[in-house]
Chain A
Amino acid sequence: MATTKKKVKTIKIDADKCNGCRGCEIVCSAFHAAPQYGEINPAKSRVQVTSHRLKNIWLPVFAGEYAPAECMGRDTYVIDGKEYDECGFCRAACPSRDVFKDPDSGLPLKCDMCEGEPKPKCVEWCLNDVLTYEEREEEVEEEVKLDDVEVGLESLINKHGLAKVIDTVTRMTQKE
C-alpha cells in the first residue's frame, strides 16, 4: 500500500526534573483565554500537574481525547517505590473525574500544541526543561477512507451477495 508523510508533534516529559511550580498550567490557560492572556485559570489548563508532595510525586499530564465512558482502569503502579493511580497518567477527559473539563461549561479540553506558535507555551514557560517539544515526520500508510454509505453497503454485500443487494436496490427504486 502507498505511504504518506505526516508531521507528529509530541511533548516529552521529564517528570524527574519537575519542581512542581504549575507555571505550565498558568500559561496554558492564559494563552487559550479570550482575549488572549486576559484571563488566567489553571482549572482550564490543558496540562495539569498531578502532585503528591510528601510522596515525591510531581507529574505533568496533557489533555488528550475525550472519553464518553469511564474505563475499568483502577490499577495502581509502583515505580521507584512511589505509588501512582492509573488515572494519574490518563490524558482523557472522562465522566469519572473533573480533570480536563472547562469548570464553567463542563466541556472537555484537549491540548492543541498551541497551534500556530513555534512551540507550545508550556514548553517555552518551563525554565527547568521538564517539557521538551519534539516534531518528527513519520511514514504512515495511505488510508483509503470509505464513507458511511460505502461502509454499510460493503457489509450488506458481504452478508447477502452482490446480486441480491442490486435486486433489492432496483426494486426499491421502481417502487418510488
Chain B
Amino acid sequence: MRYAETGHNLEIDLARGNIERVETDPKVMETHLGGLGTSIKLHWDRVPPEVGPFDDGNMLIFSSGLFNGTPAFSANRTVVTFVSPQSHLLAYPMMGGFWSAELKYAGYDKVILRNKSPNWVYLWIHNDKVEIRDASHLKGRGALETQDLIRQELKEPRAQVAAIGLAGENRVFTASIEQSRSSASRLGGGAVMGDKKVKAIAVRGTKSINLARGAEFMEHMKGVTEYINFRNANPIPDVMTILSGIGSPQEMVHTDEKWHTENFMWGNARTRRRDFWSKDNQNNWITSQSAAVKRLISCMNCPQHCGALVSPPEGPYFMMKCFGKLTYCMGAYVDDLSFNFKILQRATEYGVDSFSTPQVMAFAVELYEAGILTDADFEGCPSDKEGRFFWLLDRIAHREGIGDILADGVYYAARKIGKGAEEFDHNTIKRHEQLPLKLGTLDPLYFLMYSTNEKISITQIEGQWPQSAFATKEQREAFVKDWPQLPDEKFKQYLLDWEIRGDHAIPYFPTPQMCSEIVDWMEMLHNIDDAVCICAGMSSFCLKPPYHIHNYPKLISAATGMDLDEAGLKKIANRSRNLHRAFNNRRGMTRADEKPPQDHWKRRFPEIEEDLLSTYYKFKGWNMDGIPTRERLEELDLAYVAEDLEKRGILKNGND
C-alpha cells in the first residue's frame, strides 16, 4: 500500500487523446517527496533545454503534494509546472482552493499533460473514469463561469474545476489558471494551458488516501492546532498588522492599508504617495471593502480566511484574496477602491495575474504619456483613468491592437515597441514583473532573494525573517524569546545584533555569510511546503508559523512511513532546489541574470552586492556562475545531473 501519496499519475497525450494511469516508483518519494520536488524531476528527465514554452514538448503538470487530502491543516496547494513563456525557465505558480485533495481522492498525485489538443477540450477525471471532452461551447467563457458550467453539465456539484479564461485561450503571457477562490497566476501557466487547447480540468474523487501511522500523525497535528490557536490569539507585536498574524496576508479582513498604499509604488512601479491614507481615502476604502466583502472564506481544510466572496459594485459575485485588492487601483492611480473590485471581477473571468497585468497596463499608459505609444495605438480608448484600464484589459485579453503586444508582458512589449520603451521596463527580473516596490538602501537579504530564487516572485521566497530590524533592544529581545521555528539558535543573536542604523544595519548587516544562512533557511522551508503542498501562509511565508523544520519531519514520517529526520528532510529540499537550478542553468540561466532592477534601491553598493552573490553561491555549493558544482551534486545523489551539465559544457571541469 502507498501512504500519503496515491502512487499513480495520469499521463495524457493531448495530440493522440491517449490517457494512461501510471504507477510511480515509490523510491522517488524517498528522494524528492512529492509536489514540486517530484515534478522537477519529471521536467528534468523529459524536457530538454531546446523545448520552448509553446512547443509540443513543454509539459504542463498539475501536482498535488504529500499532505493534500490528509488532516494536515492548510494542505491545499496545487503546484503547476511548465517552461514559462516569460522567463523561459521552469515556473511553478501554485493555487490553493480544493483541487489537489479531490485529485488524490480520485486516485492520482499528478496530471501530466504533453503535446497539444487539435480542438478545445476539457478533462473530466472521476475516479477511474477519465475523459477528454469537447469544450468548443466553453470557448470565450470566463474562468469562473466555466467552472460552474462544467459542474452543471456533468451534474457533479462537488467536482473541483481549474479553468482558464479568454486570456489563457489567447496565450496572454500573464494569463492565470483559476480555481474556486484561488489561482496559479505567475509566469503564464494559463497561456501554456491555452496553447494546449485545454480549457479546464474537472475532478471528483471518492476514494481513500492512506496514512502509514495515522494516530501518530494526529498526535503531531494536536501541537500544530494548539499553535494555530495560540497565534490567532496572539498577533506578533511591533510589526505591521499585515505581518502580525498567520495565513496569507489577511487583506480581506484588514481595512488599514496605510502601509501598502504609502510604501508601495503607484502606476508602473513609479510613484510613492506618502500622504495617500487621508481621512477621505480611508473612509472610501473602508466603506468600499465592507460593501463588497460578503463572506470570508478559506481553502481546503484551513481554519484561516484569507479569501472572500465579493460582490462588486457592478457585475456578478467573484472570489478574491490578498494583494489583488490594491493592484489595479494603484496601477491606474485611482483612489476609489470600488474600482478595484469592479475591474478585478472582469480580470478574474479573463483569467489574468493581478500582479503583472496592472503593471503592463500602467506601463502602456506611461508610454502613451511619453509619446512613445500614440493616439493611433489608443484609438477608441476612453480618456478617464478607470475607463482606460478597462479598455486596456479588454485589448490584452482579446489580443487586439496594442493589446496584442502588451499581452506578452512588460519585458517583451518594451522590446517590440522600441523607441525607448525599454527604459520603462524597470521592474522586471528574469523578464517577469515584480512587486511595485522601490526603496532606499540596499537590503542584503532581499538582494539575494530577488536575484537568485527560482520562484522569481518575492512573496513566495521571503517570510521567516522580519522584513526590517526592530527599533529597540527590548523589542528584539521580546521577539527572540519565543521562536521555536528556528533551525539554529545562532539566528537569535543575528536578530539581537541587527539594528536600524549604523554598522549593524543594512546594507552591511546581516553580513553576506549570515544573509546566505538566513536566505537558505527561508528557501528550504518554501521547498518543503511546496513538496507537501502546505500553504506558505501557514509556514514559510509568515513569521513564527505553525509548520517548521522541527515538526515537519515528524509529520512526514508518520504520514508516509519513512523515517525522516531534520537532516534527511533538509537534504531532500536541497536536492530539489539544486535540480531545479540545474534545469534552469541548462536553459542558459547564469550569474548575469541574477539581479534586481537597477532602481529597486536608490542607494546601491556594487561591491557588497558582488560579495553577497559570491558568498551565497559558495554557501550553496555553486560555482561563481551560479551553477551547482559536481561535488555538491554528488553529495545530493545528482551525479547524473553533473554529467549532463558537463556534457553540455555548462559545468566545466574543475570550474568551481
Contacts and interface: CB of A to CB of B under 8 A. Distances in A.
B319 interface: yes
A39 interface: yes
Interface in A73-131: 103, 125-128
Contacts of B294: 56
Interface string B57-78: 0000000000001110100000
B592 to A, nearest CB: 45
Interface in A42-67: 42-44, 50, 52-56, 58
A22 B98 contact: yes
B215 interface: yes
Given A19-B298, A54-B309, A103-B206, A41 B105 contact: yes
A49 B626 CA distance: 49
A45 B380 CA distance: 56
B206 A36 contact: no
Contact of A40 (B98, B209, B299, B302): B209
A71 interface: no
Contacts of A30: 71, 211, 214, 218
B305 A19 contact: yes
B319 A53 contact: yes
Given A20-B298, A21-B302, A56-B309, A38 B210 contact: yes
B148 interface: yes
Contact of A52 (B98, B157, B297, B298): B157
Given A54-B144, A56-B295, A40 B303 contact: no
B111 interface: no
B182 to A, nearest CB: 11
B548 to A, nearest CB: 19
Contact of B210 (A20, A39, A127, A128): A39
Nearest to B302: A21
A30 B217 CA distance: 11
B128 to A, nearest CB: 12
A161 interface: no
Interface in B592-636: none
A33 B215 CA distance: 11
Nearest to B218: A37
Nearest to A55: B317
Interface in B287-346: 294-305, 309, 316-319
Contacts, number: 105
B346 to A, nearest CB: 15
A38 B558 CA distance: 10
Contacts of B71: 23, 26-27, 30, 37, 40, 125
B290 to A, nearest CB: 16
Nearest to B157: A52
Contacts of A33: 208, 214
B413 to A, nearest CB: 33
Interface in B89-114: 98, 105
A16 B404 CA distance: 44
Given A21-B302, A54-B309, A127-B228, A37 B217 contact: yes
B300 A38 contact: no
A35 interface: yes
Interface in B474-512: none
B207 interface: yes
B225 interface: yes
Contacts of A55: 317
Nearest to B305: A19
Given A37-B211, A39-B209, A42-B105, 13 more contacts: A21-B298, A22-B300, A29-B208, A30-B218, A35-B214, A37-B217, A39-B211, A40-B69, A52-B157, A54-B148, A56-B295, A125-B71, A128-B303
7 contacts: A23-B301, A29-B208, A40-B209, A40-B211, A41-B105, A41-B206, A42-B105
Interface of A: 19-23, 26-27, 29-30, 33, 35-44, 50, 52-56, 58, 103, 125-128
